[in-house]
Amino acid sequence: MNTLGKFIKNCLFLSTLLLQSKIGLSLPVATAATPPTPNIVFILTDDQDRDSLNYMPRLNELLINKGMVFNQHILNVSLCCPSRTTLLTGMYASNHHVYANDGETGGILGFNNAGLNDKTIGIWLQTAGYRTALMGKLVNGYYEALPAARRNEFLPGYDVWLGAAGNIHNEYNISVNENGVRRTYSSEDRHYGGDLLTGRAETFIKESAQMQKPFFLYLANSAPHNPAIPARRHLGPVVNSVQKYRFRNVRSLRTPAFFEADRRDKPTFFGSVKPETIPQIDELARKRIATLQATDEGIGRLYKAVKDSGQLANTYFFFMSDNGYHLGQHNKSNTKNTAYDESIRVPFIIMGPGVEAGKTLDYLTTNADFTATVVALSGATLPLHIQLDGRSLVPLFSAATRPGGANWRKLVPTAHYVGGGEGGGFPEFFGVRTQRWSFVEYTNLKNEKELYNLAVDPYELQNYIGPQQKQEPPPGLLAKLIDRNLRMKSCQGDTCRAIEDEPIE
């Protein structure tokens, strides 16, 4: 097909998707040349900081340069289980009710207690005719936290299930639930966790293409989550009996927030990591990047599998991290869970038909949008009782359909819940993030607040409403942010989107 023909085909495809992108029931659209149902490949990393993208050459060549980067992608909750549950259900944590990584409201127990097993994207796409697969990490506690009689269960809606069932972060000697049968793999190089998942994903793609069925692949790698174990081929030298890692010139990103000197405007819980730990933080940064190399190689393998199957022109690739990560910024290291950009702002990339290549957008997006976008692309019909909180990003794919900034959402909600487990050591907060402002209220710290003007203070160094505030926010702004924050805590579906669309300034 010549260039003009491809352009016309993509325009027809986007026109169809735009009609389907309003959240709710999909709308069947008859066109003169209805394109085939697209395939979806979703690659999820674990606790990846934005700077580490620079050390993933295949990701840059195949997805970033050929796709679209969403530069203001803000998580609703920067913690593994709440974030992943939002991806699977399209709901904010205030509506899916998974708040932590373990306990009654966290992990797999929280997921089950919230009644979410039959409310995930796999069911909707499978019903729409897709062949579906989930591989890698579901949520914390899957398998080991379940009663013995239920440990071989897996979520409905997935034709192929390869769920991590213990030791997944260790990368070697990992255990997985393979469609109801638990298997443990050896420490041989060929069984490195990231490589094992990639190999199974390649097979799934090839088989689906041979079956002539559209496919949905949800591939959740563990890299670079602690303990961040690289494949042996990516290790550096052993020096004085100590394992060193490649990328010796790499160090943690030295932004102005790195070991922030003046902390008087910060809340009382503010980070207390000592500067003498900087060598260990830098070595951790190198270790994390080395661990990501297998994921990067996997991206190249999956791209090739799709291309060799003749499906590249009809496949969307999504890439995202479930959380950000602090490596010394704001005096915190080896953690997420905060309202600062290092934690809540994560990589998000989409590449596929009709997506403007090499484009970076500053439109506000959030992890609930992933689900809404996949639903729009697939044409799946949602059950009447399902309400998605996100919105389809399909209108942003092309300059011809992209709304002006004034016609896009003005804020996204952020939160961290005290619900037990890993989240219990950090203060509970609720906040809203706009293009210009980051606002947060801490509910258990004498109602302490933070407000940063990101337009002039992108590293969040000067708190407008801290103990040592140096300037006043614009008149009326704080009252609007407090109002939106309160209302976003209890909204759902269309109501959330309406609040997000209200002008702030």
Look at residue 115 and tell me whether its pLDDT is greater than 90.
yes
In whole angstroms, what is the distance from residue 220 CA to residue 80 CA?
Answer: 11
Q: What is the pLDDT of residues 452-483, one digit of tens each?
A: 999 999 999 999 997 777 778 999 999 999 99
Look at residue 208 and tell me whether its pLDDT is greater than 60.
yes
* H or E stretch covering 163: strand 160-164
Mean pLDDT across the stretch 351-367?
97
**Residue among 80, 81, 491, 496 flagged as catalytic:** 80
Mean pLDDT across the stretch 135-159?
90
CATH entry 3.40.720.10 includes domain 3-22+36-403: yes
**Is 80 among the residues known to form the active site?**
yes
Q: What is the pLDDT of residue 307?
A: 98
- What's the token pair of residue 182? 């638990």
Mean pLDDT across the stretch 162-173?
86
| DSSP-based three-state secondary structure for 217 | strand
Whether 55 and 389 have beta carbons less than 8 Å apart is answered as no
**Position 156, amino acid:** P
When the pLDDT of each residue in the chain is averaged and rounded to a whole number, the result is 89
Q: What is the pLDDT of residue 278?
A: 94
When pLDDT is cut at 50, 70 and 90, the band that residue 238 belongs to is: confident
Task: Label each residue of 325-336 as H, E or C.
Answer: CEECECCCEEEC
428 burial via Cβ count (<10 Å: 0-12, 13-18, 19+): middle
**Position 311, amino acid:** Q
Q: What is the pLDDT of residues 278-295, one digit of tens each?
A: 999 999 999 999 999 999
- What's the token pair of residue 383? 């059950």
Q: What is the pLDDT of residues 309-347, one digit of tens each?
A: 999 999 999 999 999 999 999 988 888 989 999 999 999
Q: What are phi and psi of 433, to 5 degrees?
A: -120, 125
Mean pLDDT across the stretch 156-171?
90
In whole angstroms, what is the distance from residue 452 CA to residue 433 CA?
Answer: 10
Look at residue 21 and tell me whether its pLDDT is greater than 60.
no
Q: How far apart are the first and last CA of the chain?
A: 47
472 burial via Cβ count (<10 Å: 0-12, 13-18, 19+): exposed
Look at residue 13 and tell me whether its pLDDT is greater than 50.
no
Strands annotated E in 367-467: 412-416, 429-433, 437-442, 449-453
Q: What is the pLDDT of residue 304?
A: 98
Model's pTM, two decimal places?
A: 0.91
When pLDDT is cut at 50, 70 and 90, the band that residue 166 belongs to is: confident
In whole angstroms, what is the distance from residue 12 CA to residue 133 CA?
Answer: 29
SS3 content of the chain, % helix, strand, coil (to 5): 35, 20, 45
Q: Which residues contact 329 (CB under 8 A, 6 or more apart)?
A: 253, 255, 257, 258, 260, 340, 342, 459
Sheet containing 437-442: which strands, arranged edge to edge?
A: 412-416, 429-433, 437-442, 449-453
Asked which of 242-256, 381-395, 475-489 is least confident by mean pLDDT, the reply is: 242-256
The string over 209-248, giving b where at least 16 C-beta atoms fall within 10 Å of a residue's C-beta and e elsewhere, is: beeeebbbbbbbbbbbbeebbbbeebeeeeeeeeeebbbe
Q: What is the pLDDT of residue 25?
A: 38
Residues facing residue 416 across a β-bridge = 429
Q: What is the pLDDT of residue 8?
A: 39
pLDDT higher for 44 or 240? 44
Look at residue 49 and tell me whether its pLDDT is greater than 90.
yes
Look at residue 421 and tell me whether its pLDDT is greater than 60.
no
When pLDDT is cut at 50, 70 and 90, the band that residue 15 belongs to is: very low
In terms of residues, how long is the chain? 505
- What's the token pair of residue 220? 């959740």
Mean pLDDT across the stretch 130-135?
98
Quick one: CA dihedral 226, 231, 233, 238, positive or negative?
positive
- What's the token pair of residue 113? 């207690």
